[in-house]
A and B are shown apart, each in its own frame.
Chain A
Amino acid sequence: MRSPQSEAGTATLETTLMIVVLVPILFAILQFGDTFHRWLAQDAATVHAARYAGEVGGDTPEVRQLLGDSLRGAGIDPDRVTVQIEPARVGWREPIRVTVRSDVTVAIPFVLTTTFPLRSSAVARGEVER
């Protein structure tokens, strides 16, 4: 017959094993959910920026400002994203593409800590007749 102390040790070991298995699963769901949410928010900001860039005819400070505000509103630091607007000046009915790249860190206890690149891209059409 084992002592109560020994039983307690077994329970602690079993709990530890469970934590090592269950906590990463829980964190993986939360972290990837957050990443998906961030990706969608970045996409929405990119689409708005592309439409606005088409309206004003290209890469202007106003477009960058709008994009920065949208990203900030979604909890993304605009200083940590790369923005590409091509072409810089767009004419009537010409396509304009806005691409936003950022990195998101996913940290899952006991398993991994890694960085995923998030890329959003939207193509709108120039609406300024030059």
Chain B
Amino acid sequence: MSAVVRDERGSLALLTLLLLPALLVVLVGVLELGLVRLVAERARIAADLATLVAINDHDPRELARSGLLRPAADAETVARRYFALNLEAIAAELAASPDVVASTADVVVFADTPVLDARTGRRYDRPTVRLLADVPIRTPAFAVIARPITTISILSASSAR
């Protein structure tokens, strides 16, 4: 019995030391995942702001003439520009520049409604600016699982009121 007790002495400390690398990997993974969620949320906020700004930029002449809200002719350009401007805050976390992310985003202005968005399957009853973008995020800690860059897709749509 005493031999068994003696054998178990120090085993917990040894186990802790052996598990330490695994615990650190879990810690780094949790923090990296948290950071990805944070950046994804900030990118979504940037997209929301961009589509809101774009849809607010309605055509004043059409409004005066017919009383209808119609997105301005440059609504798509405005959405891309403000998406890029708002992505600048997280530029350091992105694997591509904000301008590249914004220019490759799928931005569609639905002026004539009701309309079915073939890409998302959503129906819009009022003029809408829709932005769909792939945002590549640097994830250096995920390189161990061959994912140094994690790409997330974000969707934002704003309708005129």
B8 to chain A, nearest CB (A): 9
Tally of contact residues, B, Cβ under 8 A: 34
A7 in contact with B9 (CB, 8 Å): yes
**Cβ of A112 under 8 Å from chain B:** no
Q: Which residues on the B side are within 8 Å of A10 (C-beta)? A: 9-10
A123 in contact with B38 (CB, 8 Å): no
- B5-39 interface mask toward A, CB cutoff 8 Å, 1 = contact, 0 = none? 11001101100100010011011001100110110
B85 in contact with A14 (CB, 8 Å): no
- B52-82 interface mask toward A, CB cutoff 8 Å, 1 = contact, 0 = none? 1100110000000000000000000010001
The docked-state distance in angstroms from the alpha carbon of A36 to that of B31 is: 10
B138 to chain A, nearest CB (A): 16
A1 in contact with B2 (CB, 8 Å): yes
B56 in contact with A2 (CB, 8 Å): no
**Cβ of A71 under 8 Å from chain B:** no
Find A40's partner among B41, B53, B57, B82 (CB 8 Å cutoff).
Answer: B41
Interface Cβ pair total, 8 Å cutoff: 85
Q: Which residues on the B side are within 8 Å of A119 (C-beta)? A: 89
The docked-state distance in angstroms from the alpha carbon of A15 to that of B134 is: 47
**Cβ of B42 under 8 Å from chain A:** yes
Find A123's partner among B5, B26, B37, B85 (CB 8 Å cutoff).
Answer: B85
A115 to chain B, nearest CB (A): 17
B52 to chain A, nearest CB (A): 7
Task: List 11 contacting pairs A-B, 8 Å CB cutoff, sorted by A.
Answer: A1-B6, A7-B9, A15-B12, A17-B13, A18-B16, A32-B31, A36-B38, A43-B89, A51-B52, A122-B45, A125-B53
